Chains A and B, each alone.
Chain A
């Protein structure tokens, strides 16, 4: 369980994270979504005690990360897969972490096996592909067999097979009752991975809801209606509180009212409908809508 309260981070004048309050719960995959520069990585670094908050606090299992006695056995992290010494072998890269955490050396072999890197364990990391770096980073996150995982853009650089593998790994972890917190700047990725999403933009929390709810709440949901008496229907619908965003000949684009309600109004007034089609906003579109006002154009993408 990860809990942030009024968590903020300033870099000089730049407010990277702005009073975030949220909880990441066990047993589900929680996505952490936001455009580039939104403050996802910064938040994750604060969770892990790497960067110090400028305000508020964040705890892991009720404690500040820096107060955890055996931190990587409480929460495993993958922040930056390329943060490895290129002249060191994969095995030694994991072994120094295992030693520092008081873990048995066999754990190194176990996690290398788990991520499929056991054949290249002795090779220098410098020669690894992007996907291998990512697997090594995941191995490091799993080293302490932690009940919580936190991963920053974990699918970056993975091939399709690797992406499927990572997704099934998260699913399995969540099903085992662990906490899984995964960031991405792509809604399409979250759609396939997460049960719940936290959406941030410019450091601020924009949404905290089950993934299914995002599209339901979108203003982009609308109903397409085709009727010979479109003009008359439009008036009726407007008086029922709906708004008409588009009206071309016999076709109306209506929002703020459900398709069944439109059908009933039509029947009551004897209006013939040729088409009545609800259009759900895609997740991608709903996400763009949510974050539209908070895209940080100053940030490098």
Chain B
């Protein structure tokens, strides 16, 4: 069986197992309503991790997605309150996200600042800027007014219980998958993540490519912000808090390996579902916060352990293959002469 496929089945199996356990031990798990809510939340992390997956596959990391969402969120709210039509708000937020991504990309490719440090710092910067832009009451305290723009609130709605964000997420996941596996851009991102030096020697435009992955990541964060702000009909300074790390975690759980060159959109999708299942399923037990943290962390560790286990197994297989290859063929070349 194909390695990549096997890796995906592992995450899928984990999801099924966890879902079965939750279903058997809690009351309201197998309800349509619960699934719809889970999918909506998965879509939020999922959209972000789709963007982040580009960056990670390309061999970098982006921790600033939380900050980008925060910033795009306030752009959304401001535009909507100014009475801009929904589509304009959407575009505005996505552009805001791209801008943040471009700043990251510029620092990393042009100023050559380390990606980890850049995005950690820029995440704070974006959150900081958001605070400047926040709505304030007469005495200067931050407030979160309700957004009433009908054409914008549409994005938070659902059809038959399926939220637009879920639909957008799945559609985009398919597109991202195709982009990553079928286009030259996708191929180049994988090769850059796998070996930057070799790719450069082969004429892959590293700087431009890396820049683009960060911009794309920003765009996805902007999009995630639009749907979420619209659903909540407001924004607040802590929107997207912790999302930077969660999106990276979702990718890693789904087999998008830190360090680059491996994984794709399906991994990011499965990883997000898994993460949301863990983070939100636990609430149903009514455990103390201490236990919640403990179990959430524990299960994520287990998931990553499976990833590591799988990694070492497939490495062994690769070695075996390479030997088989050499016994089978290498030995006779001299005779052929």
State whether these chains interact: no
Interface residues of A (CB under 8 A from B): none
